[in-house]
Structure 1
Amino acid sequence: MTRQRHFFLILILGSLTALPPFSIDMYLPGFPAIARFLHTDVAGVALSLSAFFIGLAFGQLLYGPLLDKFGRKKPLYIGLLIYIIASVGCASITSLQGLIVLRIIQALGSCAAAVASMAMVRDLFPVSENAKVFALLMLVVGASPMVAPTVGGYVTAGPGWQWVFIILALMGVVILLSVLFFLPDAYVPDKNLSLKPVPIIKGFWEVLKTPQFYTYAFTGAFAFSGLFAYVAGSPLVFMEVYGLNDKVYGWIFAALSVGFIGASQLNSLLLQRYSSQQIVNVSLSAQALIGVAFLVLSASGCLELYGTVAVIFLFLCTIGITNPNTAALSLAPFSKNAGTASSLLGASQLGIGALVSMSVSFFDSISVTPLAGVICITSVIAFLVLVISLKVNNGRFITPDGEVPLTIH
């Protein structure tokens, strides 16, 4: 594979991976404006974000078997068309209930892109390159929190929040055309795969009971769920607690994403000297410590705006390092059923993330402490899941570079 072709594939796969994050981040600055338009509050609008996460979680389970049976591109076409139609619908809503329903449908469409991109990494690149490819995808995905909320802030302040969804629909059209004309489908469809409920459940169970999968999938899911909490809680923290306007909020959100992006690229350098397991052990330990410190400092009233920004920045750095490695480790044992495995991986991430993001909305307190508490709890749970699972299995795992690590005592 030439360097130019490698770059082009990464760009298309990264665009697919970035579609759900753009759909999340771009409308965040518009929460207050949407709330006023729909005669509700910011917490009510935040439920539409949780609804999007729920739609993504269920959609992951739907598309996995479809991608394995029919190939990667046909289900992807359908998902992108659903996304485009739902995005246009979101721009026309007149009630919170309508927004919630359409956001679920929009999520069901966009998650086809997320599942297909992860499965195609496993299809198009050697297993030894998967962690590095996931890190490069993070670079493209990282454009979302840098660009999306900033653009969303100016669009909301200008033509209005409805245009945010029009822009998302146009993005869906561009991505659909790119996939149609430029993205190869190297996977040979498994036509013998049944789409009946019982065989599908058995397929998911075969993946789920693999020790390496459930160890790193659930470790990564709880670790990554802190990011969902941050996304759901950041409008309240920065615009309600600290009184920032939508434009400034967009710039702070973009600046904080530098930590996530930079760390994911630092991960590529770390992989030249350390294994994915070693990196996860260190980065997850750091994430748990930062989560505990965040809760203690916020509860004691020691954090002002800049302190909150600094702690969240460090927290996002740890996620940027942890996530590509847990994803690669989760998918390493699978080849034939990589679509099923990637969909189950995504569903676990998004399902846990949806519950965590909803928990932030349940707090009535206008303070940083609820967000800090959720981040602390999820980070500590992720650390405990990793430690306990490694102790229980105490065995040999397949690494992304094909090696078998030493038994962990």
Structure 2
Amino acid sequence: MSATLAADPISPPGDELSGSRRLRLILVLGSLVAIGPLTIDMYLPALPALTEELQTTNTAAKMTLTGTLLGLGLGQLVIGPLSDSLGRRGPLLAGLVVHVLASALCVFAPTIGALSLFRVLQGLGVAAAAVVAMAVLRDLFSGAAFARLLSRLLLVMGAAPILAPTLGGAVLRWTDWRGVFVVLAGFGVLLIAVAFYGLPESLPPARRQPASLRTTLRSCRTVLRDRTFVGLVLVAGLAMAALFAYVAGSPFVFQEEYGLSEQQFAVAFGAGAVGLIAATQLNAWLLRRYSPQRLLATALVAGSVAGLVLVGFAATGVGGLVGTMVPLWLVLAAAGLALPNAPALAMSRHGEAAGTAAAVLGAVQFGVGGLAAPVVGLVAPGSEGLAMAVVIAGGMLAATLLLAFLIRRGIPDLPPGDGHPVVVGH
């Protein structure tokens, strides 16, 4: 399919889409972005078994998660500028092919080192889906409309973290952890067909950047010189770090400290993701009444308080499993409000280079998230629950303080409602 969605220099071209076409677009983009959470989370129930089979440590096993996240971050820095020059569809399809090949290699990984390397390649492939989906949405929408539709996209994306460990647990009933990567390779093949037949080109040739290293570097320099954009990206990255501290630590906390089975862990993990999804959908409604900046600030403060409560329960052992789950659920709900609004505020500043801006945003989010995973094993060795709680609370607190600094500097806000303001950074 070579159809191109028309661009309008005055109003966002997405305004011309009917309700059914908007829904179809969100479903296609959501299915593409879902491959990221599935690749990250689907093998989580198998981490303890993987650690034993490959005769490695918990920290080394978590590095396979870090490898995927770092691949996601670095890959977006390459794919984003390429998509600004070549269009969205080509880089997307190439990335999905890389993901399929890397998943097949993971099936035959003989050592933890080889698996970590192949997981980096998986992340590089998944990066194309992550950055292109965000760029397509920004090509078509801006302002509060972008934030609202991003919340809808996160509903589709949010089903993946719920389903991934559950699917992983189901796969582990009839195979081992290697079978999980067989399923991921098959899903990648399916998404290649979805992208080829279901996603029109959203960046017409007239709006593309010249395909040269100088142009790419100039676009990167433009967005990186915008201190407000960089600050908002760091806020999003720190919130993501809290989320991935939960992703990295929860398999060991729930299965080793609380004795849950692989299938019970999948249910507990999914229950936490319900809070994330519910908050993203509440965010879409709240944006009709309140600005993205106000919602972001409220979410980060609430997440910081819940994170500190989690640290207290983890340090004292009060409450047991329930004492861990409840504040975790509240932190995830806060993340569900923060994650759509921080990118919306950042991306609204650079519609002229949406691919590059989305790449920087994604690279920081997944890069910081990737660093959070091994830190969970280093903060409090022998106490996974406390280490996870400290990193979660630290991420939320740091994001809150940074946003407060940006607000004091007079960060421009987006109005609630259906407006489409675009503030270009300088």
TM bin, normalised by shorter chain, reads over 0.9
1:13 to 29, 40, 61: 29
Do residues 33 (structure 1) and 66 (structure 2) align? no
Q: TM-score, normalised by structure 2?
A: 0.91
Where does structure 2 lack aligned partners over 5 or more consecutive residues? 1-16
Shift of 1:356: 1.2
Gap change, CA 1:126 and 1:352, over 3 Å in 2: closer
Matched, 1:111 2:127: yes
Work out which of the residue numbers 257, 260, 265 in structure 2 matches 1:244. Answer: 260
Equivalent in 122, 128, 152 of residue 136 of structure 1: 152
Aligned to 2:399: 382
Going from structure 1 to structure 2, the CA distance change for 1:403 and 1:62 (only over 3 Å counts) comes to closer
Q: How much has 1:303 moved relative to structure 2?
A: 3.5
Give the aligned partner of residue 366 of structure 2.
350
- Structure 2 CA distance, aligned partners of 1:274 and 1:157? 46
Paired residues of 2:45 and 2:168 also in contact (CA < 8 A): yes
Q: Is the 8 A contact 1:61 1:343 kept in 2?
A: yes
How far apart in 1 are the matches of 2:413 and 2:287?
17
Partner of 1:62: 78
Which amino acid letter does the alignment assign opposite residue 350 of structure 1? F
Structure 1 residues 286 and 170 mapped into 2: Cα distance closer, same or farther (>3 Å)?
same
Is 1:125 the counterpart of 2:148? The answer is: no
Measured at CA, do residues 396 and 251 of structure 1 come closer, stay the same or move farther in structure 2, by a change above 3 Å?
Answer: closer
Q: 1:288 offset after TM fit, Å?
A: 1.1
Query: 2:406 & 2:299 partners in 1: Cα distance?
Result: 17
Residue 125 of structure 1, CA deviation: 3.0
What CA distance in whole angstroms lies between the structure 1 residues aligned with 2:210 and 2:367?
25
Q: 2-side partners of 1:212 and 1:39: how far apart?
A: 46
**Within 5 Å, which residues of 2 pair with 1:77-92?**
77-92=93-108
- The alpha-carbon deviation at position 402 of structure 1 amounts to 3.7
Q: Name the aligned partner's letter for residue 332 of structure 2.
A: L
Measure, in 2, the Cα distance between the counterparts of 1:320 and 1:169.
28
Match of 2:200 in 1: 184
Which residue of structure 2 aligns with residue 162 of structure 1? 178
Amino acid at match of 1:377: G
Aligned-pair distance for 1:367? 4.0
Q: What is the DSSP-based 3-state SS (H/G/I as helix, E as strand, rest coil) of the residue aligned with 1:40?
A: coil
1:178 Cα offset (Å): 0.9
* TM-score of the superposed pair, with normalisation by structure 1: 0.94
Aligned-residue offset at 1:188: 2.2
Q: Compared with structure 1, are the counterparts of its residues 395 and 78 closer, same or farther at alpha carbon in structure 2 (3 Å cutoff)? A: closer
Q: Distance in 2 between matches of 1:183 and 1:403?
A: 26
Describe the SS at the equivalent of 2:376: helix
Which residue among 216, 220, 227 is the counterpart of 1:204?
220
- What's the counterpart of residue 279 of structure 1? 295
* CA pair 6-396 structure 1, distance change in 2 beyond 3 A: closer
Q: 1:92 Cα deviation (Å)?
A: 1.2
> % of aligned pairs identical?
36
Aligned-partner residue type, residue 100 of structure 2: I
Letter paired with 1:78: A
Aligned residue number for residue 112 of structure 2: 96
* In structure 1, C-alpha distance between the alignment counterparts of 2:261 and 2:233, rounded to whole Å: 37
CA-CA distance at 1:387 after TM superposition: 0.7
On the 8 A contact 1:331/1:342 being kept in 2, the answer is: yes
Q: Which of 228, 234, 252 is residue 250 of structure 2 equivalent to?
A: 234
Tell me the secondary structure at the aligned position of residue 39 of structure 1: coil
Shift of 1:172: 0.8
Q: Is the 8 A contact 1:68 1:340 kept in 2?
A: yes
Structure-1 separation of matches of 2:122 and 2:266: 23
In the comparison of the two structures, how many residue pairs are matched? 403
Tell me: CA distance 1:395–1:147, structure 2 relative to 1, closer, same or farther (3 Å). Answer: closer
In the alignment, is the contact (CA less than 8 A) between 1:32 and 1:41 conserved in 2? no
Which of residues 349, 358, 365 is equivalent to 2:382?
365
- The 8 Å contact of residues 57 and 347 in structure 1, kept in 2 or not, is answered as yes
C-alpha separation in 1, matches of 2:116 and 2:415: 40
CA deviations on 1:255-299 (whole Å, 9 max, x unpaired) are 111000001001111111111111111111111111122112221
Q: Cα 1:88–1:277, aligned 2, differ >3 Å: closer, same or farther?
A: same
Please state whether the residue corresponding to 1:347 is helix, strand or coil: helix
- Structure 1: where are the runs of 5+ without partners? none
Matched to 1:379, the amino acid is M
37, 42, 46: which is aligned to 2:62? 46
Please give the secondary structure, in 1, of the residue aligned with 2:369: helix
What is the identity, as a one-letter code, of the residue corresponding to 2:62? A
Tell me the SS of whatever aligns to 2:351: coil
Structure 2 CA distance for aligned equivalents of residues 33 and 311 of structure 1: 28
For 1:94-147, what per-residue CA distance to the aligned partner results, in whole angstroms no more than 9, with x for missing partners? 111110000000100011000000000011335441111110111111111211
Shift of 1:8: 1.0
Tell me the SS of whatever aligns to 1:142.
helix
User: Are the structure 2 counterparts of residues 245 and 42 from structure 1 closer, same or farther at C-alpha, using a change threshold of 3 Å?
Assistant: farther
Q: Contact between 1:396 and 1:404, CA under 8 Å: does it hold in 2? A: no
Alpha-carbon deviations, 1:290-345, whole Å to 9, x = none?
Answer: 11221122212223111101110011000001110111111012222000000000
Determine if contact 2:58/2:377 at 8 Å carries over to the other structure: no
CA contact (8 A) 2:292 2:414 kept: no
Report if aligned partners of 1:240, 1:366 keep a CA contact under 8 Å in 2. no
Of 277, 281, 284, 1:261 maps to 277
Out of 28-37 and 358-367, give the one that drifted further. Answer: 358-367
**Corresponding residue for 2:14?**
none
CA contact (8 A) 2:349 2:422 kept: no
Per-residue Cα deviation, 1:51-103 (whole angstroms, up to 9, x for no partner): 11111111110111100000000011110000001111111111111100000
